[in-house]
Structure 1
């Protein structure tokens, strides 16, 4: 089983002292050339700070994000699960994981980065700024990544629980063994509505519970059965989807 997560715009600073990016240490080594191509274009973009901020949707006060991109190849690295911040990753709370939980997360969690493609939770990466829809010089991320990421994910055996946003799913499809997780709530008449505000938090909390359980589920039915005992309402949704039903208030 792998749990496929989206990245976040925000990243934690710092890393292991004296460390730098080593392409060979990243999961899915078949993506190395594609990763390096994006890195070259991203570095090229940083040559013009104004153009870089426009492309990345940044304000002048966020110039530090451009500086991150300018030096990411020589910046210190840390595990991807610790690098990303934000609502989803706050719910995961990697800092409080036990050694066994961390080990299980490194075996099962994959984060889909716009810069690196899918990376393992334990892969050492630097801080950077790049979104799925950023326009790089001479390169469109969707067309650049889609085929190669799809092939890489389809080569991974076992159940894949896809928690990515639709935007990141367009950068590469999960395998035929995947199931897409939707966060929904039930209205007064029982109609299910997709959540937006609490979507990321619920994904983070659910993923942390999966990691803490240490169970490597091989089937959707196993996952659903576990969820009941873990206090979640996880049910079959549309074809190829699971609905995680959460209350509208107090999530």
Structure 2
């Protein structure tokens, strides 16, 4: 089983790991592309105005440019600890025990716009770069899509794609048996379902945490669907190649 998570714009400062080593990340075939983006982002950071435009920053966010300027030499920490925000707050990786984290290292990827898909325990610095960031003469979708899709095609078994559609565009999982895109939906009293946007992140974080705490390497979607209610989740088949994580309407309203 492999779980694909989106990254987050917000990231924790600091870290106790050594400088960035992109060659040590999962999928080493992507090393050259990672290095190209790192060099381009560091170079961009020496032009404040260009960085503000490329990264869509407000004038109160100039510290993000400082992060990028030193990202090749700044301290690192595991990816699931570096990212913050709604999904990662619900995942609460720092509170997982050693066995849970080791399981995450083998079964969870975070798809970074800067680094591509990386292992949950791969060591990353603080940086600012998103799916809609723009680098001079470099289109992210063209840079990543085919090579990331090829890397993910090497994966066998059950794949759960929890990324946003914007990150899916940077490297889709090849359509095959055993690969599923997860949608978080709420069901109204009349039975109609609607997708949740911002508030789906908390549900995805809670679901991922439960998977890690279970430490079960599900081989088929049927095994996953059987387990879900025992962990308190309503998970069901959706459109072809999709699963729906159903959140009760009252719960979704409280989160709003």
1:110 partnered with 2:109: yes
Superposed CA deviations along residues 80-102 of structure 1, whole A, max 9, x for unmatched, are: 01000000000100111011111
Aligned to 2:125: 126
Looking at structure 2, the residues matched to 53 and 133 of structure 1 have their Cα atoms a distance apart, in angstroms, of 13
Aligned to 2:73: 74
1:198 partnered with 2:177: no
1:47 partnered with 2:46: yes
Aligned to 2:250: 249
1:14 partnered with 2:10: no
Q: Confirm or deny: 8 A CA contact 1:88 1:204 kept in the other structure.
A: yes
Aligned to 2:87: 88
Looking at structure 1, the residues matched to 47 and 170 of structure 2 have their Cα atoms a distance apart, in angstroms, of 26
Q: Confirm or deny: 8 A CA contact 1:44 1:137 kept in the other structure.
A: no
Superposed CA deviations along residues 136-158 of structure 1, whole A, max 9, x for unmatched, are: 01101011000000000001111
Superposed CA deviations along residues 13-38 of structure 1, whole A, max 9, x for unmatched, are: 00116x11112221110000010111
- Tell me the secondary structure at the aligned position of residue 109 of structure 2: strand
Q: Which runs of 5+ in 2 are unaligned?
A: none
Aligned to 1:57: 56
C-alpha RMSD of the superposition: 1.0
Looking at structure 2, the residues matched to 217 and 163 of structure 1 have their Cα atoms a distance apart, in angstroms, of 16
Superposed CA deviations along residues 33-71 of structure 1, whole A, max 9, x for unmatched, are: 010111122122112101101211111211110010110
Give the number of equivalent residue pairs: 250
Q: Which runs of 5+ in 1 are unaligned?
A: none
After TM superposition, where is structure 1 displaced by more than 3 Å over at least 4 residues in a row? none
1:23 partnered with 2:18: no
Q: Confirm or deny: 8 A CA contact 1:101 1:214 kept in the other structure.
A: yes
Q: CA deviation at 1:178?
A: 1.3
Looking at structure 1, the residues matched to 134 and 114 of structure 2 have their Cα atoms a distance apart, in angstroms, of 12
Looking at structure 1, the residues matched to 230 and 198 of structure 2 have their Cα atoms a distance apart, in angstroms, of 26
- Tell me the secondary structure at the aligned position of residue 242 of structure 1: strand
Looking at structure 2, the residues matched to 31 and 230 of structure 1 have their Cα atoms a distance apart, in angstroms, of 36
